Structure formats: C-alpha cells, structure tokens
Structure 1
Amino acid sequence: MIETVPPRDGREYPGSDSVSLRDLFNVLKKNIPIIAVCTVLGLTLGILYSVKTPSTYQATARLVIDPEQSRILSQDATTGTVIIEAAEIASQVEIVKSEAIAESVIRELGLMNDPEIVSSTSWQSALKGYAVSAINSLAGSGDTEHAAQGTEEQMRRTMDGFLDRVSVRRVGQSYVLEIGYRSGDPEKAARTANALAEAYIRNGMNDRAEAAKQGALWLEGRLVDIGGKAREAALAAEEYRNQHDITAMANETSLDQQQLSEVSSQMLAARAETADASAKLTTLSRLIASNSTDANLPEIANNPQILKLRDEMRLAEIRLEGLKERYSAGNPAITTATADIARIQANIVNELRQVEALYRSNLEIAQGREKLAEQQFENATSQGADKNIARVELAEIESRANTYRRLYESLLQQFVSTFQTQSFPLGKARIVTAATEPLSRNWPKPSVVLPFSLVLGMSFGLFAAVARNSLDRRAGSSERLQRELGITSLGHVPVYRAQPTANGQAEGLPATVMPLRAILDTPYSPFSEALRSVKNSLDAIIPAHGSVVIGITSVGSGEGKTTIATNLAQLYQNEQQSVLLVDADFVAARLTRLAFNAAPDFALKPIHPATFGDTSTTGTTTRLLRTSRSTERSCIDHEPDGMPDHSAVPVPLLTVEQTRHLATGPYRYGHLSALKEALAKLRPKYKLIIVDMSGFEESADTRTICSQVDGIILVIGNNKKLTIERLSEALKVFGRSRVSLLGVISNRSDTGSRHRSPLSRGLTA
C-alpha cells in the first residue's frame, strides 16, 4: 500500500478533479512557439487569400411594397388592430429569387453565355451539363428536340450561377426589400440589380392585370345569376304577405303584433292593481280582527278623523295613568276615564271599518278590470294565432331576399374595383433607391479576412497546445504528479554541467562519474543549489529528534538515483550532520565498486566492521579498511598548510560486500535479512541513513527493502520516456505492502537553472 507524506508547510495542492489557472498558464507558456507559429501561419493564409482572390462588387437596389396593393395586411379579430403578415413579406422575397424573374433578367441582359456566371456554376451542375451534352452528341446533333433540351439545360445552369449571386433581404421590420447582385464588374452589378427590381415590379403588374381580367369575367357571370335570384326572392316575399293579409308598419312590425302588445300591457297593469288592492284589504282586516288601531296604510295615515281619535286616545291614557297614581282602584274618576278610552277605541274601529269597505270596493273594481283585460288578450291571441305560422314563413322568405340583395351589392362593388384594376393596373411595389456602381469591393475585405484568419490561426494553435498537453502523459510536471497520482514533488535538479577546475576539485576522473561529487566540486552551481533545495524539503519531513532511514530509488536504471543519493549524503555530511550512505543496489553495486577503486576521490569511506560488533576480518574487510585510511590521508594531503578540508569530509558507506558478509549460512538471499539487521544496529548511531537501491520496476530486492525503510524518495531522470501510466503501473508492484513515499525528485530537469542568482554565478566563477 503506497502512502504519500504531505508537506509540512500547510499548503494544499489542487485535487485530481480540478484545473487551476496556473496550470492553464503553464500550458500556454510551454506551447508559446506552437501558438505563435499557428497564428503567423493563419495570418499569412489570410493575406494570401486577400491578395489572390478576385474582387467582387455588390450593388443594391431598394424597393418598397405597397400595403394597399398587396395582401400583406390583416386585421386582428379581437383587438381590431392591423398586423403585418411576415409570411407574405417572406413570400415576396422568394418571388424575387424565383427562376421566372431570373430567366426574365437573363434574357433581357443577354447573360446566357456570360463567362462570369457560367464559370461560377457548381461542379454538380457542370458535370450534369457535360453528361447531357455527351448524350445529345451521341444521339445526333441534328435532332431538334435534343437541341431544345440542351438549350433548356444551359438556361438552368445559367440560372443556378445567376441566383448564387443574387441576395434579397427585408430591411428590419419595414416593407422595404433590398435586392443585391454580386459581380466582378461594378457597372454590371448595378445594371443587373436594377433589372431585377424592374422585373419584379413588371411581373407583379402582369399578375395583377391577368388576375383582374379573370376575376372580372367570373364576377360578371355571378352578378347576373345573383341579381335574378335576389329579384325573385323579393317578389316572393311581397306575394306571400298579400296572400296572408300581413300588414307591415314603418318599423317592420305587423299591426296585429302591435295590438297584442298593447292588450298584454293593459292586462299586466290590471293584475298589478288587483294584487295591490287585495294586499291592502288583507292587512286592514287582520288589524281589525286583532283589535289593533296601529295601521300605517296611506288611507289611515292621511285620515284626519282617525288622527284626531288617536290624539284623544293618547290624552285619555295619560289622564288614566295620573288618576291611578292618586286614587285607588274603583274610584269613580278612574271608572269614567276607562269608559272614555273604550269609547274612543270603538270610534277608531268604526272608522277603520269604513276604510275597509273602501278597500273592498277598490278590489272589486280592480278584479273587474283584470277580467276585462284578460278577455281582450284572449280575443287578440285567438285572432293572431292563425297568422303566426305565416309570419315565420314570411320572415324566412324576407331573410333569403335580403341575403341575395347584400351578396349582389358586394359582387357589384368587387366588379367595379376589378374593372378599374384591369383598366389601370398598379404594381405592388415601387423602386425607392436605384442601384449605383459600388465604390469599394464587397469581397474579400481585409478588415474581415485578416482578423478572422488571425483568430483562426490562434484558435488552432490553442487547440494544438491543449491537444499536445492532453496527449502528453510524461511525468515531468510536479503539478501533474500531485494532481493525478497524489505524489509530492521535493524539487527539480538540473542537468549537471562540468565547471572550470576549482581548488579542491578532483582531477583526472571520468566525465561520467564527475556528477557523483558535484556538491563538493561546484558548491554554488545550479545543480548544487537545486540539491540544497531538495535537502530543505527533506528537512521538513525528517523529524527533529531521532533517526530516520530514507531509501532512494527509481522506476528503472539510468535515472541518476545514485548521483542524488551520493550528493545528498555528502551535503548532510559537510553540514556536520551524522549521515550514513548504504549501497543496497545488489544488481549494479556502483558505490561498492567506487569504494574499492576510487573512494578517496569521491569522499567515501567504508565503515569499520567493529561498528556491527564483529571483530573477525576477512581479506575483503582489510582491503576496505586500507581504502578507508587512504581516503583520510588523501583528504588531508589535498589541504594546504596541513589544515583538514572540511568540504571533503568522507561519508561513511555500507557496501554491498559488507552486507553480504553479514549474512549467515548458505542462504542465497540472506543479504536482505542481513541488511535489515544492519539498519537496525546502525540506526542509533546515525541521524540520517540514506539507502541507495536499484530500480524497483526490475528488482524484487528493492521492493523488499522499501518496506524496511521509513520512507522512500523516487528519482525521475528520464521525463520524456516515463509517463504517468507507466509510473502508476510501476507503483502497483508494491501490492498491499505499506511503503511510505516521501516524494519525487525530478532529475536532469531544465527548470532548476532558470532562476539562478548573480551571487551564485559569481561564486561559481
């Protein structure tokens, strides 16, 4: 199981599902040459197109459609407002571009053999024309029918090329149509545009005249027919009215109907009067029966005798109440007052009975009038019943006569209008602005072509840049590694370049091994500065207290992992930190071979066997000790004035031979367990142990050792060949093993030398 260690500076990198503006900027910055080349190429093509393309001139004529002379107006049934029929305007546009108008103009201007039109026909029309010509030639050129077909085909091809140069559009929401024609000759463009407008107007006038002629003939026959039917219907209505003695009044109603209406009104009035008298009599009778004198009927309220009696009644009641307060019951005064009240009430009842007699008389009179009105209504109804059916039939006959009369009048108006149109036909459109020779060409326009070609080239460049970035799966970008695999970048180390010989630099070494001590020979070179930046990133990961074992490996061989491991160990050693370099590359054992051959030149010193608690020595161990001592003397001899060279303090090295010597028994792969035990014994004695391992893609030992260290550093030295997919597949070889991946070092990168300070350049020189 691969685990990555996040940086301790608290920064968060973009996730795998997001792209930042910085990523886009980096893509554009990386592909600036491609974008620039595509932009220049597009601009060049635009210039060549503008120069090589023949000039085209377009002349336009404007005409307005008369809304009173054409069917382009309609009225909204709900609001009554006049609305423009856009479909009619579009129809007129298509009529201008019709083949009939085109043929008329071609014959008028003699454009049948115009080379400009014939050469602009499509390849399909040309191919079809050649085929027809070949068939006609095989069938015989003297045949009149075939010659006519050839002429018609030539006209069709000419019309195709002609209509390709015609443009018709509506100006805004107005009635104005703009007719344009394109040609290489400005004078011919203006002449053809005016001919199109005139042909359209002439075609409209001819159509209207022909339609008016046909309409007049039809209307004339319909007028004779409808006029006869209207006359016959009017005579039939008068004869039917005379036969049934139906008299019509001025307001088109019969006398019987008017009499029946008057009698009906009288009967209704009598019924209302009877109902009113009956209601008054009923109310007054109920009051008398209940011995009540409070009645608000008009005849009672306005009767002075009843009003006088009511006042006397009120005074008598007041006097009785006063006597009852002063005297006891049975007093003669109280008895007299009570008798007066009874007498007055009896008088009021008598007066009400007189009014009741009056109401009863009025009711009898109203009932008599009602009976008389009903008898008159029944008589009028019985007299007019036999004429109702006749009236209905008469109304239908009169309606038919009126319909024929209105239809005749409408047809007569249309006939008069059509006859006038036939005598003096008016066009549905008129020319507003005639076409003139254009002063400038319509196409190609450099102001349009050049910006378009520039934008097109730039867009193609951007597309190529994005496609290149999408297809480029190389693991050379730390952002891509972090985004797609979640691996932190520890830094970029540039390609090592040999510097001029400086004091303390080893001489006579092969150029292939010089980078192994670059941190000593060129302390302020871009390579060393980048490696020190990597060390700073490692310092943020290494704990402040205790020791740590870090393995350095790569995907395959030749990535420069040994160079990184050796220089990092020398850098820590020369900063007075306790460091141990372990050669765990059991395949190549490069550091072990250097320890045997030229350890002093690379400031390496194999550790003493006593470090493991082993006192036994072999010939190999003795030879290693001798090499170690010679390394120390070489370091002292290189320093003038007998002072030790602190820049070349040797780094302790655990070689492959020492690890294998620690293995016990005849086991073939005992060096792995021996290395694990050696690391456990050496951990308390060193703060940092750097283990140089083989490429884990091709070595099973490395995959085993990676699980024994605290963390591993992956060195990528061939960015052009190592893709994200290959790195992902390579990391899968660890399976479910718990391996802590501290980060990635991009070796042999060009980014490390871009920001080199002047001070470092001066010190290096």
Structure 2
Amino acid sequence: MATQDIQDQPQRRQSAPVPGPVSFDLSTAAASAVRRTTGMLLRHKLLIGTVIVLGTGIAGLVALRMTPLYTAQTLIMVEHRKNQVMNYQEVVSGLSTELGALQSEVAILKSPAFAEKVVDKLGLMNDPEFNAALRPEQTNWFYYLNPKNWLPDSWWNSARGDRPEITLSPEEKTANERTSVVNNFIENLAVRPQGRSYVIAVDFDSEDPRKASLIANTIGEMYLVDQLDEKFKAAKRATAWLEERITELRREAKTTGEAAEKYRAESGLTNANGETTLIAQQLAELNTSYVLARTKRQEAEAKLREVSTLAQSPRGVSAIGDVLGSPLIQALRQQEVELQRKIADAANKYGARHPTLTALQSELRDLQGQIKADVGRIVQNLSNEVELERGREAALKTNLDQLQAQRNQQQESNVTLRTLERDAETSQTMYEAMLTRFQEIAGQTEIQQPDARIVSEAAIPLNPSQPNKKMIVLLALIASATLGVLLAMLREQSERGFRSPHQFESATGVRSLGIVPAIGRRRRGTSPAAYAIDKPMSAFAEAMQNLRTTLLLANPDGHQRVILFSSSVPGEGKSSIAAAFARICANAGQKTIILDCDMRRKGLHPMLGLENRHGLYEVLSGECAPNEVIQTDPRTGLHFIASGRGSALPQDMLGSSRMHQLISRLALEYDRVILDSPPVLAVSEGKLLAALADQTVFIVHWGKTKRETAMAGLKEIVEAGGEVVGVLFSQVDIRRHAQYEFPDSGRYHGYRRYYAN
C-alpha cells in the first residue's frame, strides 16, 4: 500500500505516455547482458579474487603435503588357446574369454581372500603403510588443520550416536587389525580388463616405488599359483571321489552279474535266443494248420447246410447234383429226364392206361428212389466230414494253446533275465568308465597348467602417479573461480539497498534528483560542506550544483523557498548534503539560511565551523529573538541557526505556532530556507517538519539503506503531508556505480576529466 500511495502522487502530475513501436535487437541484448555480467564481476572482483587465491593456495598447499604414490602395473593375459598334451577332459574347465568370465577373474583378484594371501606372503601386517596401528602419531601443523582432529574421538562418537566401545579379546583385535590391513591393501589395488582384449591390468599404488613393483608382480604370480592350486585341489577331490565310486561300482557289477547267472540257471535258459526262435516257428506252423482246419470245417459246415436245405426243396435233388458236382447224381438225373420224356411221348402215343406207359412210370419211380438214396448217403458223408474237421480243429487249438502258454512263460523269464543282464552290463560299463576317468585324472595331475600367463611384469616406477599437483591446482583454480562467481552472484542478489535512482523511481514513482559522489579517502577528514567550497570543480560540488539547478527548474516562480532535507535512518549523509547545498546556494549569491532542526544530535554546527551557544531552541522557547541566534558563515555568507542548548521535548517545540511563524518569517526574508531534519523513522519530528516545508529532498544512502526502510521513510513523509520533490542518493561510489547497467551509470566517473577531485 505504501508503494502504491507513493506511486499515485507523481502519476497524477504526469500524462500517460503514448505507446510506440518497440524494437528488440538480439545483438544489443547480448551486448547488454555481457556488460551486466562484466560489471557484476568487476564489482565483486575483490571477493572473487580472494576466493580464488584462498582456494588455489589451500589446494596447492594440500597437494604439496600429500604423500606421493607410485603405480606399478602387471599385465595378465587369460589364455584363449589351450595346450593339450593328451586329449583328456580336464577336471576344472578352462576359463571362458567372455566379458563375464573376465569380470569374474577381476573380482577374484580384488577379493579379500586373495588379498589376504598376498598380505601373508609379503608380510604386510608389519608394514606401517598398510597397518595404521604401526604408524607414528602425526603432530605436524598439517595434522592440526583437519577439523576432525580438534576434538577427541569420544566426542565424535557421541555426536554420531555410536554405541559404547565394545571390549574385544586379543584374537578379535588381531582379526580386526588383519581386516583393516586387507582393506587398505585393496584400496591401493586397481584391476580392470584392457579394452576388448584378453588382458587384465593389475595396478598397485604404494609410497615406495620398489614396493609397488614387488606387490604388483607378486599379485600376478600368486594369481597363477592360485589357479594351479585350485586345479590340484579339484583333481585331488575328484581322485578321492572316483576311488570310492570305483570300489562301489566294482562291488555292484559283481553282484548284478552273479544275480543274472543264478536266474538263468534256475530258469533253465541255457540258450534263450535259440529256444525262443524254435518255439516261435512251431507256433507259427501250428497256427497255420489251425487256420486251415478251421477253414475246412467252416466249408464243410456250409456245404452241409446248403445240401440239407436243397434236400427239402422241390428241386432239391436236381440242385444237389449241380451243387455237389457228383457224376452219379448227374447221370441218374439225366436218366430221370430221359424217362420223363419217354413217359410224355408214351402218354401222347398210347394213352394213360397203356402197359408201356405203366412200365416207364414204374422205372421212373425206381430211378427216383435210387437218387434219394444216393443223396442221403452224400448228406451223411458230409455230416461225417464236418465232425471230422471239428475234431481236427479242436486238437490243433489245444496244441496251440499249450504252445502259446509255454512261449509266454519263456518270454517272462527272458524279460527278467534281460533286465538282470542289462543291470550287470550297466554296472560293468560305469565301472570301466570310472576306472578310465580315474586313470585320465591321475595322468593330468603331473601336467597341470594355469589358464593365464604374465605378459608384462611390473617395472619400478620412476615418477609418482599421484597426486597430480598441476591438475589439483588447475581444478582448484576452476572450482574456486566458480565458487567466487557464485558467491558474487549470491551477494549481488542479496543486496537489499538501492543502487540507482532509477531503481527507486521504478519502485516508488518518485523522480530522481541525481546522485552525490562519495568524497575520496584522502579527504575523509574534511567535511562535505567545506569540500564543496574548497573543490568547486569536484564531482561532489557539481552534484550540489546539479541539485540546485534541478530545484530551481522545479520551482520557476520561486514561491517554494522552504526546503527540507530528510532521510529514513541516521548515517545517510542528510546533514552533510544539507550543509554543502546551503553553502553552494549562498556562494551563488542566493540569500540562504539553514536551520539545524535535529535537537537531539546537534551535529550541523561542527560541519560549518560555527558555535551552538544559542539557537532554535532558545527562539522557540522565547528566550531569544531570531536575529540574536543567526550566525554567518565567513566563507560564503550563509546564515545559520543552530539547534540550541535546550532539553525540552523536540516534538513540542517543532510543532508549536512559534515554529510556524519562524518559518513563515524566514521564507519572506530569504531566497532559500533549508531545514536539516532528523530521520523520520528514528523520531517523529521529521514528519512535523515535512508538513512545514514547501519541498522535501529525500536522501538515501547508496547501496546501504534497505529498500524496505527507504520506502517506509518515504511513506511517513508522504502521509505527513510533505511534498517530496525527489530522491537524492548520497555517498555513491562512482567507480562501482559505473559498473552497473543503469541509465545513469557512469555519471561523474565516465566524465571524470571534467572534474578536479
């Protein structure tokens, strides 16, 4: 709300700008960004340089104090071609050359178990480089730079929440010490495959170059020995197992063979294959005879049924002759036909009662009787033949069943026998295979070869591999420079003060009255009021002249003569600027008077070199007349009323009617009436004075006064009815101000040839 209230006032005085075409040049924007970045770096060059120097110096010091390490390298190649003296299968298969197999060998070389073997072989338990318990206590200054060494270990343990220390037995302490040595050994060991080859590089770092070479070569030798040892152990385990298994198989083969022979003897199967073949032939022949007999029986039965059926039919006798194909029946049938023809002829010729016809009919009856008798005998013969075939079939069936039962029994015995023989044969085969494998392994034991070989032994390194001091310093330089820039950016973002009137105008809408350069260090002992007169061609004096000109242009008719110089908090240079401005105005021929209205601090009279025996307090209290307290500056003719020596409440004094009358009288007598006000946020008198002044110049300490503080002070003046003519920035570092990318950046500094500072 405060900002909105402040912004509303100047907006009422100004007309809205007419929007026009906007152009945007990328090259211009990029150049502007570069200038802003460069300015930021230049503004914080001290911070960045300090961080770079400290960071690089500490890194260089650490690099110099670091113990140099020497790296020795041994190259081990995994054999992908096998030398086979005998074409035997190995107990432990050779190493695969796939990436997974090479990584497994790398893991073996870096395993604690393998490292422990090397530690034992070289006696590294007694080496202080790996056994921290044997190292002497460090007491040099570099040791004390480590913050961890500033406090006892018990304090660190308590801070981490560790449990109380556990009491260990001597054996457990030795085991822990051994584990620590192995871990230190592994930390200095680097194992990696070299590209897509079968070569494994083994690097070891040590403080002693000879020790590094010795350990790297020992690792390679121990690796080959470890491979052979594992093969010997595997062969020994396989031999022991095969001996036990061969004994069992020998016993099993003997037992199964004896069981087969015993069953063959009990079953009487001396030649099972031959007997089986003979029975099969007999069974086949008998089965063929049985089939033939059954066929004949079926044919005889069929013929008997047909003949019996025909015998009952009217034409049975004639049909039987055709069916049976009997010559006798056929001859008798022809005679019957001939007699029937003769009887027909005789009946036509002689009549029915003729003796010839009767004789022929008697002969026909005799012939037909003979035919029936012959047919009966044939049917009886067929019945006998059927019974004969049935008997023969039944006999063959009985023999076939007996032979089949004998064959089934023999097959069952053969199956059991073959099972026993297969068991015996399997046991014998396994026994022979195990015996052969045992002999192969026994032959391999004497010709075992490792699956790798050393292609390059580690030489003694002449130059240390660590630390890379140049790289450490370079990285430290880059890191510290980056950190310095980040800190500068953080500091830039964390700045809470206004760096330009343009920022203040954008935030509040109050126009700028310019900037006041800070006085150089060599003239710090001189008051700004004296400096403005002593150095009339200086940038500071020019700033006062610029303020005077701006206020003149803001008041062309000259009616606004009372000017209040106010600020938010003490130390912003308000009194110094008011005194210097008053002297500039008086020196320019304007009749000017300045009043020290800060009755608490009373700091204006030393700046002008005058006294504070009687002043404003005495006038307002009625003790003195205004003419009695006015002092004159001998250098410029400036009139001055000091604050006085009274101790009454300033609020009551400055808010009284006498103060109003005094200001009105002075405004009639002088061209400029300048009031030096106390800070508005510190005390309340500043708001009373703002209501009395025609114009208020609001002072802000460049880059120091917080933005919220400055805006709050401005709000207090506006709410008190003060007419804020503009904001003036004090104590501006024109060199740093020129490094910002503001519209007024570079003012005074960019044109310093025009000034005599």
2:462: which partner in 1?
A: 439
The answer on 1:32 being equivalent to 2:72 is no
The answer on 1:101 being equivalent to 2:117 is yes
Deviation of the 1:200 alpha carbon: 1.1
Structure 1 segments unaligned to the other structure (5+ residues): 12-18, 75-81, 128-145, 246-382, 501-510, 600-605, 607-616, 639-647, 658-666
2:216: which partner in 1?
A: 193
Q: Distance in 1 between matches of 2:484 and 2:232?
A: 63
2:733: which partner in 1?
A: 750
Q: Deviations over 1:57-86 (max 9, x none)?
A: 221101023468767659xxxxxxx76357
Q: Distance in 2 between matches of 1:28 and 1:595?
A: 37
Deviation of the 1:100 alpha carbon: 3.5
Q: Deviations over 1:160-188 (max 9, x none)?
A: 66555433333345443222233444344
Q: Distance in 2 between matches of 1:157 and 1:597?
A: 80
What secondary structure does 1:715 align onto? strand
Q: Distance in 1 between matches of 2:602 and 2:201?
A: 87
Deviation of the 1:20 alpha carbon: 8.1
Change (3 A) 1:677 1:435: same
The answer on 1:620 being equivalent to 2:625 is yes
The answer on 1:587 being equivalent to 2:599 is yes
Deviation of the 1:202 alpha carbon: 0.2
Deviation of the 1:527 alpha carbon: 0.6
One-letter code aligned to 1:436: A
CA contact (8 A) 1:105 1:192 kept: no
The answer on 1:561 being equivalent to 2:574 is yes
Counterparts of residues 200-215 of structure 1 (less than 5 Å): 200-215=223-238
What secondary structure does 2:75 align onto? strand
Deviation of the 1:199 alpha carbon: 0.9
Change (3 A) 1:447 1:417: farther
2:472: which partner in 1?
A: 449
CA contact (8 A) 1:57 1:443 kept: yes
What secondary structure does 1:61 align onto? strand
Pick which of 694-703 and 89-98 moved more. 89-98
CA contact (8 A) 2:538 2:756 kept: yes
1:671: which partner in 2?
A: 656
CA contact (8 A) 1:716 1:745 kept: yes
Change (3 A) 1:656 1:158: closer
CA RMSD of aligned residues (A): 7.0
Q: Distance in 1 between matches of 2:501 and 2:750?
A: 28
One-letter code aligned to 1:703: K
Change (3 A) 1:480 1:189: farther
Q: Distance in 2 between matches of 1:758 and 1:28?
A: 19
Q: Distance in 2 between matches of 1:41 and 1:433?
A: 44
Change (3 A) 1:406 1:450: farther
Identity of aligned residues (%): 19
What secondary structure does 2:625 align onto? helix
Pick which of 710-719 and 483-492 moved more. 483-492
User: Number of paired residues?
Assistant: 532
What secondary structure does 2:128 align onto? helix
Change (3 A) 1:763 1:561: closer
1:169: which partner in 2?
A: 192
Change (3 A) 1:176 1:406: farther
What secondary structure does 2:215 align onto? helix
2:680: which partner in 1?
A: 696
Q: Distance in 1 between matches of 2:654 and 2:593?
A: 22
2:340: which partner in 1?
A: none
**TM-score of the superposition, structure 2-length normalised?**
0.50
Q: Distance in 2 between matches of 1:740 and 1:403?
A: 121
Change (3 A) 1:414 1:570: farther
Q: Distance in 2 between matches of 1:499 and 1:197?
A: 75
Counterparts of residues 23-172 of structure 1 (less than 5 Å): 25=38, 28-45=41-58, 48=61, 55-66=68-79, 73=96, 84-85=100-101, 88-95=104-111, 98-106=114-122, 113=126, 117-123=127-133, 162-172=185-195
Q: Deviations over 1:94-142 (max 9, x none)?
A: 24873443235315xxx665xxx32553259989xxxxxxxxxxxxxxx
CA contact (8 A) 1:530 1:752 kept: no
1:643: which partner in 2?
A: none
Change (3 A) 1:429 1:491: farther
Q: Distance in 2 between matches of 1:417 and 1:686?
A: 129
One-letter code aligned to 2:529: L
Change (3 A) 1:651 1:183: closer
Q: Distance in 1 between matches of 2:547 and 2:428?
A: 110
Deviation of the 1:726 alpha carbon: 6.3
Structure 2 residue aligned with 1:714, among 673, 698, 701? 698
Deviation of the 1:214 alpha carbon: 0.7
Deviation of the 1:197 alpha carbon: 0.4
Structure 2 residue aligned with 1:527, among 532, 540, 550? 540
What secondary structure does 1:217 align onto? helix
Deviation of the 1:525 alpha carbon: 0.5
The answer on 1:179 being equivalent to 2:202 is yes
CA contact (8 A) 1:555 1:695 kept: yes
Deviation of the 1:206 alpha carbon: 0.4
Structure 2 segments unaligned to the other structure (5+ residues): 23-31, 83-91, 138-168, 274-403, 617-621, 645-651, 739-745
Q: Distance in 1 between matches of 2:755 and 2:729?
A: 25
Deviation of the 1:420 alpha carbon: 5.6
Change (3 A) 1:490 1:90: farther
One-letter code aligned to 1:101: K
Deviation of the 1:717 alpha carbon: 5.3
CA contact (8 A) 1:547 1:686 kept: no
2:2: which partner in 1?
A: 2
One-letter code aligned to 1:702: G
Give the structure with higher Rg (CA): 2
Change (3 A) 1:160 1:586: closer
Greater RCO, 1 or 2 (C-alpha within 8 Å, sep 6+): 1
Q: Distance in 1 between matches of 2:725 and 2:530?
A: 24
What secondary structure does 2:110 align onto? helix
Deviation of the 1:451 alpha carbon: 2.0
**TM-score of the superposition, structure 1-length normalised?**
0.50
Change (3 A) 1:622 1:465: closer
What secondary structure does 1:63 align onto? strand
Change (3 A) 1:28 1:496: closer
One-letter code aligned to 1:527: F
Q: Deviations over 1:449-497 (max 9, x none)?
A: 3324444554665577667778x86747449975998798754423447
Q: Distance in 2 between matches of 1:719 and 1:57?
A: 55
Change (3 A) 1:422 1:622: closer
Deviation of the 1:529 alpha carbon: 2.7
CA contact (8 A) 1:121 1:160 kept: no
Q: Distance in 1 between matches of 2:199 and 2:714?
A: 74
Counterparts of residues 246-645 of structure 1 (less than 5 Å): 418=441, 421-455=444-478, 458=481, 475=497, 477-478=499-500, 491-496=514-519, 515-516=528-529, 519=532, 522-532=535-545, 551-557=564-570, 559-568=572-581, 583=595, 585=597, 587=599, 620=625
Q: Deviations over 1:713-755 (max 9, x none)?
A: 43245977x5667667767877977878776534334326987
CA contact (8 A) 2:698 2:714 kept: no
Q: Distance in 2 between matches of 1:751 and 1:433?
A: 69
What secondary structure does 1:84 align onto? helix
Change (3 A) 1:27 1:89: farther
